[in-house]
Amino acid sequence: MTIANVEGQAYWADRAQVWLEDADLLDVFGGPPGEAAIDCLDPRPGERILDIGCGPGITTIALAQRVKPGGGVLGVDLAPGMVEGARRRAPGLSFALADAQVHDFGETFDGAYSRFGVMFFADPVAAFANIRRAARRLSFCCWQEPLANEWMVLPNVVALGELGAGPPPQDPDQPGPFTLADPDRVRSILTAAGFREIDVVPRNDRVELAERDLATWAALGARHGLAGQLLKDATPETRSRVAAAIEEEFRGRVRDGAVRLTRGVLLVTAR
């Protein structure tokens, strides 16, 4: 297998186990935007769909339900642990270890889809050009800027403060969760990759976390994103301290029994 996104594979291979363990909790944040992107793709019975960056296979299962009867879905991910986890979750579906930037899919799919799996390409134009050659239409969701995503950024800010660390340098051209946050950049990349009929629609709402569950969500925030990276080699005591600080920040924002944090995505379609 050819890998162009070497750093991306190393990162996700390292994070696969904790991601698989928390997949159902993380679905609270990514699930609704992902469903909206599936609706934008509008998969139909009998179609073949490519699920890019399929992770634990949750989206592959959802797509497979939409193309019954007679259709099929291929879920691809560049992290071996993710593919193994997806196969365990959905043993009747097809998964492949592949880097979508360079993989020769060998067939034409009716549609290509991704839920937050296309922001990590080393060369996004080359990657989307390869996807265009493999699929007739495209739909994906990606994150808007950090300030539009309090649910993701707040735990990171708390962790930085607790650890006395400075924020990492921001380079919009480097792979990362916010690299496609600019709609104009998305359009430019897809145009250069040969797509047409490009549509980029912002979707903004709030994630509601019940007060009784805030310890769970705080612990989750300490395991993922920048906070998770900062705490990767930390002692259990340090992890617990940061998680407690995140929980305290959440509780300070509770109104009417819940904390409500912004979530901003872009829904992108093209042909």
Q: What is the pLDDT of residues 154-205, one digit of tens each?
A: 999 999 999 987 666 667 678 889 999 999 999 999 999 999 999 999 999 9
pLDDT of res. 3? 75
pLDDT of 212: 97
Position 1 scores a pLDDT of 66
Question: Other CB atoms closer than 10 Å to residue 139's CB: what's the count?
Answer: 24
Round to whole Å and give the CA distance between 51 and 2. Answer: 19
Q: Which residues of the chain have pLDDT under 70?
A: 1, 166-170, 172
CB under 8 Å to 52, separation ≥6 — which residues? 76, 100, 112, 113, 114, 117, 118, 131, 140
Distances, alpha carbon 190 to alpha carbons 210, 259, 271, in Å: 39, 36, 10
pLDDT computed for residue 175 by the predictor: 85
Dig out the tokens for 247 from the structure: 């929980």
Q: With 0-12 CB in 10 A as exposed, 13-18 as middle and 19+ as buried, what is 188?
A: middle
The answer as to whether 152 is a domain residue is: no
Measured on CA atoms in the order 89, 93, 99, 100, is the torsion positive or negative?
negative
- pLDDT for res 54: 97
- Cα dihedral sign, 245-251-253-259: positive
Q: Distance between the two ends of the chain, CA-based, in angstroms? A: 27
Domain encompassing residue 64: 6-146+171-206+264-270
pTM metric for this prediction: 0.94
In the chain, where do the E strands start and end? 48-52, 72-77, 94-97, 109-115, 135-143, 199-210, 258-270
Q: Is residue 175 part of a domain?
A: yes
Asked if residues 145 and 216 have their Cβ atoms less than 8 Å apart, the reply is no
Is 217 a member of any domain? no
pLDDT at position 170, please? 67
Specify the CATH number for the domain of residue 127: 3.40.50.150
pLDDT in tens, 90-106: 999 999 999 999 999 98
pLDDT at residue 15, rounded to an integer: 86
CA distance 73 to 59: 10
Which residues make Cβ contacts (< 8 Å) with residue 99, sequence separation at least 6?
1, 2, 3, 4, 5, 9, 78
**Domain count across the chain:** 1
Q: What secondary structure does DSSP assign to 92-132, as a single string? A: TSEEEE--TTT----S-EEEEEEES-SS--SSHHHHHHHHH
Q: Which two tokens stand for residue 202?
A: 């912002």
C-alpha to C-alpha distances, 68 to 29, 35, 42, 65, 136, nearest whole angstrom: 26, 17, 13, 6, 19
Asked if the structure places residue 132 within a domain, the reply is: yes
Domain-located, residue 140: yes
Q: Residue 78 domain-assigned? A: yes
Q: Is residue 216 part of a domain?
A: no
39 domain-assigned: yes
CA 143, chain centre distance (Å): 8
- For residue 165, give every residue at least 6 positions away whose Cβ sits within 8 Å of its Cβ, in sequence order, or none: 159, 230
Structural tokens at position 91: 């043993």
- Residue 167 is predicted with a pLDDT of 67
